[in-house]
Structure 1
Amino acid sequence: MAQNYIKSGERVTVVAGTGGAQSGKFYAVGAMSGISQTSAEEGDEYELDTTGGVYEYGKTGAQVWEQGVKLYYDEDTDTMTTTATDNTYAGVAEQPASVDATIGRIMLLRSF
């Protein structure tokens, strides 16, 4: 292993912004994004899973997710969507989701 190796990078330590961080919520921190592993007060550190994890997350209504479709985080609704415009890339649908589903499975993929 390289002498300068620190860690895998699947989880990174970041500082909670305005309002803090909530465990299980998607956050974008600069060019990094992922799911918070713990809750944190504003200014405190927390772990962000940036890649590889599969999570259940709120799904934008009236959408069908095919397995493997690209998903984006809609900050206004705190849901995942197939709509790229004005949203942050998050990963892909790990499983299909019906039009009636309110929750879907997302597999995080690096956004940077």
Structure 2
Amino acid sequence: MATNFIQPGQVLTLTAPAGGVTSGVGYLIGALFVVALQDAAEGAAFEGQCTGVWELPKTSAQAWTEGVEVYWNGNAATTASTDNTFIGHAAAAAANPSSHGLVRLSA
């Protein structure tokens, strides 16, 4: 039996970045995208969910199809890859315009 297993990894304890974190909001910690599971002040430990399907703010002027690659632009999910970080795939179609979309995170 392996002795070096630490944890499943769907939820990680991380350090809140500048400005802290708000529960339910997405954040890039380095290149890792997580959704904060509770509020935390800057520098405090918080739990970040790395997997699952989340309703996230999206670029309103985009229409998404199921399975399209989704990126994070620092404030919202987008299908534009340039200068953005890959976070997962659309779990459902989203209309143009719409303020939110369903994203399956790819940890």
**TM-score w.r.t. length of structure 2:** 0.93
Matches within 5 A, 1:6-21: 6-21=6-21
Match for residue 60 of structure 1?
59
2:26 and 2:36 in contact (8 A); partners too:
yes
Question: Is there any run of 5+ residues in structure 2 with no aligned partner, and where?
Answer: none
CA distance in 1, matches of 2:57, 2:18: 22
Question: Is there any run of 5+ residues in structure 1 with no aligned partner, and where?
Answer: none
CA distance in 2, matches of 1:32, 1:60: 20
Match for residue 39 of structure 1?
39
Match for residue 73 of structure 1?
72
CA distance in 2, matches of 1:34, 1:71: 14
Classify the secondary structure of the residue corresponding to 1:9. Answer: coil
Classify the secondary structure of the residue corresponding to 1:43. Answer: coil
The alpha-carbon deviation at position 100 of structure 1 amounts to: 2.0
Q: CA RMSD in A?
A: 1.2
Q: Percent identity?
A: 38
CA distance in 2, matches of 1:7, 1:54: 20
Query: After TM superposition, which residue ranges in structure 1, 4 or more long, deviate above 4 angstroms?
Result: none
The alpha-carbon deviation at position 2 of structure 1 amounts to: 2.1
Match for residue 98 of structure 1?
95
Q: Deviations over 1:48-91 (max 9, x none)?
A: 1112x11111110221100000111111xx21100011111111
CA distance in 1, matches of 2:85, 2:36: 15
**TM-score w.r.t. length of structure 1:** 0.89
